[in-house]
Amino acid sequence: MAVFSSIKKFLQTPYPFYFRGRSLLYFGLIIFFLALFFNYFFLPFNVNSAEHKMDYFWICVLHSLMPMLILLLMYPYIHFSPSLDEHWTIGKELVFLSVFLLLIGIGQFLIRDLIFDNPNNWSWGYLREEVSNTFLVGILLVGLIVSVNFNRLNARYIKEANFLEHSRRVFKASNQIGIVPIETQVKMDRFDLEVDQFLYAKAEGNYLILYMYTGNDLLQLLKRITIKEFEQQVSTIGQIVRTHRSYIVNLSFLEHVKGNAQGYQLTLQHSSNTIPVSRNMIPKLESRLQK
C-alpha cells in the first residue's frame, strides 16, 4: 500500500504546462532535433535500404517532423483549455505524452507509402511496429526531458520561494485607499471594493469571483467583469497584484510562499485555497514583495 501511495503522490505532483506559445515551439524543436540525431546516428531499428524511396537522411527528417505535425493537430485542444495550466501534474503530463506518442506512431504508419516500397505497408503488423518503435524511442527521449526538467524547476523554485519567504516585507493596506469604485460590464452591478476585506479574485470567463473576509466569514461575490478590467482598476493599489492568468491577490493577507515545479504557491490568511503564481508573473511578485 505504501508503494501505491507513493506512486499516487508522485503522479499528483504539480508540473509546469509547457505546451503553449514559445514553450510549445521549443518543445517541438527539441523533440525534432533529438529524434533526428538519434535515428540517423544510432540506427535503433533494422533498416532495409532496398525498400527506401529516398535517402535515409530525409527519411529521418520526415520521421522527426511528425511530432511537430501532431502538436499542430493537438493545438486546438491546448488553446481552448486554459485551465490546464492550473491543474497540470506529472500524471497528466505522462498521459498527454502517451497520447502524443501514440498519435506519432499512427502518423508514422500513414506515411509509410511515401518512404518505403513495400506492398505490405498497410498491414496491421506494420501499424504495431511503427507504434511500438515510436514508444521505444519516445519514452527514452521524453522520459529524459521530463525528469531533468522537473528536477531542475522544482529545486529552483523551492530555493527561490524559501528565500522570498524569509526576506519578504509584510504588506499593510494603506489607510488612504480603503475603498475603490469598480466599474463592471453591467451598470447595475457596479460596486465599491473594500481593500482591507479583499483576499483574492478568480476569473471564470467574463465573470470574476471575489473572495472577501468580513472579519467573521469568507464571502464570495460574483461580478460580471474580466480579470483584465479588474486588474486595470486596482492597479494603483500596491498590495494587489496579479499572479496568474486567473488570479489577483491582496498581498496584505499573504501567509506563506512555497515553491514547486510549476512556480510558486501562495497561502493566504482566512483561506484554505492555494493561489498559483505562473512563471511569467514571478518577477512582478518578487518585485512587490522585496520593495
Condensed to tens digits (0 to 9), the pLDDT of residues 111-139 reads 999 999 999 999 999 999 999 989 988 88
- As a whole-number percent, the residues of the chain with pLDDT over 70 amount to 95
Residue 99 has pLDDT above 60, yes or no: yes
Q: Residue range 208-231: average pLDDT?
A: 91
Residues ≥6 apart with Cβ < 8 Å to 198: 210, 211, 212, 240, 250
Euclidean distance between CA atoms 34 and 16, whole angstroms: 21
Identity of the highest mean pLDDT range in 22-36, 111-125, 274-288: 111-125
Give residue 291's pLDDT band: very low, low, confident or very high (50, 70, 90): low
**pLDDT at res. 42:** 80
Condensed to tens digits (0 to 9), the pLDDT of residues 230-257 reads 999 998 888 899 998 889 999 989 999 9
Residue 179 is inside which H or E element, if any? strand 179-182
Residue 268 has pLDDT above 90, yes or no: yes
Q: Residue range 36-57: average pLDDT?
A: 85
Cα-flanking dihedrals φ and ψ of residue 267, to 5°?
Answer: -110, 130
Mean pLDDT score across all residues of the chain: 85
Q: Give alpha helix (H) positions in the chain.
A: 2-11, 21-42, 56-79, 84-87, 90-110, 112-115, 124-167, 227-233, 282-290
Residue 216 has pLDDT above 80, yes or no: yes
- Which position has the higher pLDDT, 207 or 141? 207
Residue 201 has pLDDT above 90, yes or no: yes
Q: Residue range 7-33: average pLDDT?
A: 82
**pLDDT at res. 168:** 67
**pLDDT at res. 175:** 47
The arrangement of strands across the sheet holding 254-260 comes to 254-260, 263-268, 274-277
- Using DSSP, state whether 43 is helix, strand or coil: coil
- Which position has the higher pLDDT, 171 or 89? 89
